[in-house]
Amino acid sequence: MLGLLKGMQATLSHLLTRKVTVQYPEQRAELPERSRGLIRMRLKTDAVNPRCISCTFCERVCPAVAIKVIYKTRQPEKVWSLDAGAGPMLSYFNRGEKPLGLELWPEKAEPLAAPDRDGCLASSLLDANGLSQMVLAKTASRNGVWLSQVFGIATFYDRLKTGAAGKTDEAEPPEIATAVVDGSPSILLANHGAIDPESIDSYAAAGGYSAVNRAILEMNPAEIVDEIAVSGLRGRGGAGYSTGGKWKQALAAEASRKYIVCNAAEGDLDSAKDRSLLENNPHAIIEGMIVAGYATGAGNGVIYASIGNRLALERIQIAVEQAQEKGFLGSEIPGTGFTFSIKVLAVPEALVGGEETALLETLEGKRPAPRVRPPYPAESGLRGKPTVVENVETLATVPWIITNGARAFQEIGAEHAPGTRLFMMTGAVANPGLYEATLDITIKKLADAAGGFSGEPQAALVGSSGGGFLSPGLFDIPLDYDSIAETGGDASSGVIRVLNESNCIVETVRECLAFSASQSCGKCIPCRLGTRRLLDIVERVCSGSGCQGDLELAADLAADIEQGALCGLGQGSVKPLLTGLKFFNQEFLDHVSRDRRCSANKCLVS
């Protein structure tokens, strides 16, 4: 079955890249959010109807609004306009039929300022003067890819639209209040406000790059990997995988080239921890990447960051240039034979761009869509080479471990999740902000550090749109990965939104689902179709037209999505709903009861 699907997808790719008329949709602003672009196919009059290979139950409108088929008749041929690209498409042709050919591009060429960035089309398009047909055609020609590939990327990102892409003046995001919780060591926030983030000398005076010196001059790669493994460090990007285990895989892999990728996409709602680290302590990330490169045998690093965080991008670029001037990057460290280089890549904002395999697809010039695993990136990642993908916070922790030792780190905080992490407290607390604490801390203690609750707490959403709800009775459990997972939630990005009596649980679930559905890459059916169906159901409940059967249907569908979605983003999209139904079922029942009440007076049912 898998082979059949792959063959069908290959057939589609051939059809789209060679025999399709592609035009940039000038009317894109009028299309549904995150429309995946328009593809016009000119077919003979008697050609059969195009269909999505993922869903053959309808021919006109896909239930997910991911694929629209609009019939237009132009004699003597038919033109189908498809809002496509969200999923694999397959057009069926009668034997011997062929498309009628491509339309010519406009003769007048527009200037193209996009530099070649190793095939990362999303990054190149940000620098283009515009996204006209000619610009897209030239981008495809210069990068040696099919036009439909460039077009698919240009229409995937909301930020890439007609006009001067990526050049709009936007206000910088507000500064984030930061604090270390009493009793917690400061590993990540120690340099915030204490050093000049644009000075490598200031960082060095605070002990910076001592971890690089110790790792390279006193340890061999295997010893470094063992040190990270013994420390118990787990990835801070959300999944909580063993960092040492990932590095061991990469070290053992034999390849002519290996990569270290810093994932600074940070697309979660309310999350700003990675941005804060890049803005205030950029050299710590670079130092962590150098250590990771030496430990795994990688000589090339990429920092994959969102274009929306301009100050963060500016400071990490300055830090890279300073590290090059000091000889930490770009030249051999004397006596070691080790050379490591880093490239900073700005990409458009997209939640799925933060999924590690979708990130690799983007770097290879494709649309961000998760890969099937195994193989895992540490074995076969960027361009088929072993690749270690680590979150900003994870890499910023590495220098402390190398400098102070694995045992010292292991003794901090939770037994199965040692060390500290950054928690973003939002919502009904007196002082929202970024707090560093050990992973055995509780919501109550974090709220105390944030000045206490505002109003009577009703719930806490842990992990943003990919996390889950906790009831006040669970505010005393530790916030480590395993304890949160036992509740049905996910620690994920470390964002904690506290809800009080003025907030509606059902409406918050609706907000999370709306965000997740809009951010779906569309590659797998459970996420592309399922999240939109769930959103429809919850919107009915919020509007007062829902019934108890809707709640049962939503729970059943959410369980299927959690089990069937391709990546962690799709699987996590239903956690707010499932945990909401688990801990706050009465809230949902009130919305579909005869009285149809919303206790917070947020929904139309009230």
- Residue 418 pLDDT level (bands cut at 50, 70, 90): very high
Q: What is the pLDDT of residue 209?
A: 96
Residues found in the chain: 606
The Cα 291–Cα 297 span in angstroms is: 10
Residue of 416, 376, 400, 402 lying closest to 252 (CA atoms): 376
Q: Phi and psi (nearest 5°) for 88? A: -65, 130
* Chain segment 317-354, per-residue pLDDT in tens: 999 999 999 999 998 877 778 999 999 999 988 888 89
220 in Cβ contact with 452 (< 8 Å):
no
Q: Nearest 5°: phi and psi at 556? A: -65, -45
Asked if residue 6 has pLDDT above 70, the reply is: no
Q: DSSP letter at 473?
A: G
pLDDT tier, 29 (very low <50, low <70, confident <90, very high otherwise): very low
CB 431 within 8 A of CB 246: no
Residue 500 DSSP SS3: strand
pLDDT score, position 183: 87
Question: What's the token pair of residue 144?
Answer: 């040696």
- What is the SS3 string spanning 393-447? HHHHHHHHHHHHCHHHHHCCECCCCECEEEEEEEECECCCEEEEEECCCCHHHHH
Contact 369, 352 (CB under 8 A): yes
Q: 448 and 433 in contact (C-beta within 8 Å)?
A: no
CB 497 within 8 A of CB 270: yes
pLDDT in tens, 426-481: 999 999 999 999 999 999 999 999 999 999 999 999 999 999 999 999 999 999 99
Enumerate domains of the chain plus CATH numbers.
Answer: 2-90 (no CATH), 178-410 (3.40.50.11540), 420-500 (3.10.20.600), 509-592 (1.20.1440.230)
Query: How much is the pLDDT for 85?
Result: 35
SS (H, E, C) 294-320: HHHCCCEEEEEEECCCHHHHHHHHHHH
DSSP for 1-35? -HHHHHHHHHHHHHHHHHS-EE---TTGGGSPTT-
Contacts of 576 by beta carbon, 8 Å cutoff, 6+ apart: 461, 465, 467, 468, 469, 508, 509, 512, 513
Nearby residues of 299 by Cβ (< 8 Å), 6 or more positions away:
257, 258, 293, 338, 339, 340, 341
> How far are the Cα atoms of 167, 279, 418, 442, 494 from residue 437, in angstroms, in the given order?
38, 20, 11, 10, 11
Q: Is the pLDDT of residue 5 over 70?
A: no
Residue with tokens 């009465």, as numbered in its chain: 586
N- to C-terminal Cα separation, the chain: 49
Helix, strand, coil abundance in the chain, percent, nearest 5: 40, 15, 45
**Quick one: pLDDT at residue 422?**
96
Using the 8-state DSSP alphabet, how is residue 49 labeled? P
Query: For the CA atoms of 514, 84, 349, 318, what is the dihedral angle to 10 degrees?
Result: 170
Q: pLDDT (tens digit, 9 = 90+) per residue, 196-211?
A: 999 999 999 999 999 9
Residue type, 524: C
Give the pLDDT mean for 559-573. Answer: 91
CA–CA dist 319, 280 (Å, integer): 11
pLDDT band (50, 70, 90) for residue 170: low
Give the highest mean pLDDT range of 14-18, 24-28, 162-166: 162-166
Confidence of residue 148 (pLDDT cuts 50, 70, 90): low
d(CA 319, CA 325): 10
Cβ atoms of 228 and 401 within 8 Å: the answer is yes
State the CB neighbour count (10 A cutoff) for residue 141.
Answer: 12
pTM assigned to the model: 0.82
Closest CA to 389 of 522, 238, 185: 238
Strand pairing category for 468-470 and 300-306: unpaired
State the average pLDDT for the chain: 79
Give the whole-angstrom CA distance, residue 66 versus residue 84. Answer: 7
Listed range (122-126, 257-261, 357-361, 571-575) with the worst mean pLDDT? 122-126
Helix (H) or strand (E) holding 560: helix 548-564
